[in-house]
Chains A and B, each alone.
Chain A
Amino acid sequence: MKALRNIMIAMLIALAVLPLAAGGSKEAAAASGDGPVTIELWFGAAMTEAGMVPDDWVGYDIIRDKLGIDLKLTMLPSNESDQDVKIQAAGAGNALPDIFMVRRPVLVNLVKQGLVSPVDDCFDKMPHRTELLYDKDAKAHATVNGHIYGFPSPGMIVRNEGLLVRKDWLDKLGLSVPTTTEEFLEVARAFTFEDPDGNGVNDTYGYGAFIEIESNLKGYPGSRLWPIMGAFGVEGLWSLKSGEEGLNIYKPEFYDFMVFLKGMCDEGIIDPNWLSYKKDDFRAAWKQGRFGMMYEQNAAYAATSNYAPFDKNFPDGEWIVIDAIKGPEGKAAIGAYDMNYRIYAVSRKAADAGKLDKICELLEWMSSDEGYYLLGWGVEGVNYVLDEDGIPVAGDLGDMAFTGSKGQVYTQLRNLVFYNGDVELASRYPTYITEVSKKEMSALKTLREMQAMTWTNAIGSGNLPTPNADVKRFYEQTLGEFLTGARPLNEGTWQEFIDGFNAIGGKAWNDEGVAYMTENGLLHD
């Protein structure tokens, strides 16, 4: 009996003390200055699905031996919402890691809570990295209330999406590349009703899309409709054009766009699944030849593994990148673009524990030649070889190459060092010959084509205020109901929507955004 009681007491004490002991040892190591300092880093992986950086990664030893840092890595979820929830939950428990990737809206919340440390003084401590990654615009992206609260490195390549059309379908039906909304509709109708794939079944549509939205740049119905919205001058959530500043929803042309889109839905020339598709469903659909026009990202379309299923299904199929179509008033844009940054913020806890200098040291090393190639491509001769132009390539390294199934996990941290330089792009998007149709493909060439099209400057959208949940719901729900027909779409109901939107807080949101644009010099001609 006594033994049983002792066991119970021991278990309870162990349960109570273990977490305290675990937390305490880490802080103690940082403060004491003896032995390596532990830095906990939550990072955005290059390919979440590939898995975690292995324990045998040589980087751990190099960082420990050269910098005196015991690096602890945690991979963030790939989905932005999940990332936000993970970070905010950690923030609520004051348990943020030392350094972590965070989106600006979440960063603003964390700053309000006093959970992150300003890093204004850090840039001088890492001159090489700052020169490569942190320009004035980047710093502005991480600035809140006059202080820089994180290290904003270049994110996704901008203007890397485009309007694509099935050239083989155009040729088969004797059609030209559409240049106006009228021609766009004609092509969409032909793709829907004239059996462009010649299989004798009515199973194709003119345009394919899905709802891709977020709170700063891509307002409902989202970026996949941008080429059409661009024809009406309402691409993007915000307009930062001087004289037209504010939410695009207030422009009369937004109503015209909605009428146009609703017409496409009613006529059945847009894939009727588009309101239900998630990203993966949409991508599976174009690879199965369901539609002949779409808005897609360069690598998602042209990278080796992404294009392969389409190549196999349609060896004679061919997509081409086309420029924006012109609307009734001559307006045209492929989409709106903002600068993308990945912000790495430092927790207040880490700064208070005296880890800021070590973090700067770590980041500066990452951008050195040694760190850049190790994080970007792995170990030379094991994960990559240099070609005659000095570009890292897979060579004959097989699975262990940085592109291979076993090697790619060693480059999970590459987003911490990449800045979309020429070497990176040439290495990331090599020219290749497709397996079935033997076509020459290059995601880099596609990228350059897409970037050369007509785009709308919306730089600074990412810093604009976001609406509360009720305003956001009202905005998205009402537009959605117009499209599904649950709410009739006419000038009267549209005005009711705008009035309701203003009343619920939309006007205040718009005014706040316009004030921010004006104060921060974001407006342009």
Chain B
Amino acid sequence: MKISRQGTAAAPVPKQMQRSKLRREIARHRSVYVLALIPLIYYIIFKYVPIWNSQIAFKDFMAIDGVLGSPWIGLENFRTFINSFYFWSLIRNTVMYSVGKLLISLPLSVILAIAIYECTRPGLRKVVQTLAYLPHFLSWVIMYGILLALLAPGDGVFNDVIELCGGKAVDFLSNTKTFPWVVLISDAWKEMGWSAIIFIAALMGIDVSLFEAAMVEGANSWQRVRYITLPAIAPVIVTVLILKLGTILDAGFNQIFMLYSPQVYAVGDIIDTWVYRQGLLEFEFGLATAVGLFKGVFGMFLVLFANWLSRKLTDSSLF
């Protein structure tokens, strides 16, 4: 039984009245509901209906027989993936890039957001913000061209500088030691500005009087960031972190596919590139779906775990 704010027992509301109230509410906000309908339909068609097809992960999928007609093979597709010669190498590389990107990109995005927020010159702020967003809109094909111009061993800008300083040119893109760093840093460079948007939005929501009070109390810039800004955006950071953990096994197919080559397969081949070669190019759609399912379930458990951990440690969680 519900307890009213006055502490007395509330009389139960008849169902009929509840329904008519709901209808009135919907009618009053109908434009909002119509707007919500579009993404809802999108999610139903493109996200929920395909879940039905994920059963081919457990089937020897034959396109001519369709999803229902293909024979069940149990966990065979999962076994094929797990018994793959490079399974652990794929897992290691995928997690390395996912976690690496999280560790590098997330703090950089937060720092960039704070720097932009703290900047007192509106003109400079706009220029920095625009320049930081810009790489996000470049495809990885173009980014590869830029990286080649910067990093090529023969005439790349970086190697010119290295040689000028008496060093030996490094083939950054074909060297197993340098390739992971190229992936991580180029991703941070490309996406840092875009990822900072959400943090800038969170910063905009901080009560300005807090900063004014701190300044009156003599707090310097660093102290204001440490004691006001960071705690204020901590829930957003946690939310972003939790959401990113859900896609921990998505290490960035487009980027890796463009940048990697056989010379760096050892550190460049990730689950998605393997699925592309073994699943899609070899017409093993059941296998590709099994790996997708594996990634999804793994990601979901990570999200649940991270949410629980965050609630325990910081009292802040997504749900």
Contact = CB atoms under 8 A, between A and B. Distances in A.
A106 B175 CA distance: 32
B87 to A, nearest CB: 10
A113 B283 contact: yes
Interface string B283-302: 10100000000000000000
Contacts, number: 132
B280 A473 contact: no
Contacts of A477: 262-263, 265-266
B148 A281 contact: yes
A482 to B, nearest CB: 10
A432 B172 CA distance: 42
A479 interface: yes
B265 A473 contact: yes
Contacts of B145: 281
B173 interface: yes
A483 B153 CA distance: 15
A104 to B, nearest CB: 13
A211 interface: yes
Contact of A275 (B144, B169, B261): B261
Given A1-B27, A203-B155, A469 B282 contact: yes
B174 to A, nearest CB: 4
Interface in B154-180: 154-155, 169, 171, 173-176
Contacts of B176: 481, 484, 486
A12 B277 contact: no
A205 to B, nearest CB: 7
Contacts of A205: 154
B41 interface: yes
A272 B285 contact: no
A73 B201 CA distance: 47
A276 B265 contact: no
Interface residues of B, number: 47
Given A92-B285, A281-B148, A469-B282, A476 B63 contact: no
Interface in A388-408: none
B33 A504 contact: no
Contact of A276 (B171, B269, B277): B171
Nearest to B61: A92
Contact of B85 (A203, A276, A470, A486): A470
B154 A88 contact: no
A476 B33 CA distance: 55
Which of the listed residues A12, A273, A276, A479 has the most CB atoms from chain B within 10 Å of its own CB? A276
Nearest to B24: A1
B289 to A, nearest CB: 10
B311 interface: no
Contacts of A508: none
Interface in A282-298: 290
Contact of B280 (A89, A220, A472): A89
Given A1-B27, A113-B63, A348-B64, A469 B278 contact: yes
Given A1-B30, A474-B85, 14 more contacts: A12-B41, A15-B41, A15-B45, A84-B281, A85-B281, A88-B285, A113-B283, A211-B262, A273-B152, A275-B174, A276-B171, A469-B277, A469-B282, A504-B85
Interface of A: 1, 4, 7-8, 11-12, 15, 81, 84-85, 88-89, 91-94, 106, 109-110, 112-115, 203, 205, 211, 213, 220, 271-273, 275-278, 281, 290, 348, 468-470, 472-474, 476-477, 479-481, 483-484, 486, 504
11 contacts: A11-B37, A11-B41, A85-B276, A85-B280, A94-B63, A211-B261, A272-B154, A281-B145, A290-B154, A470-B85, A474-B85
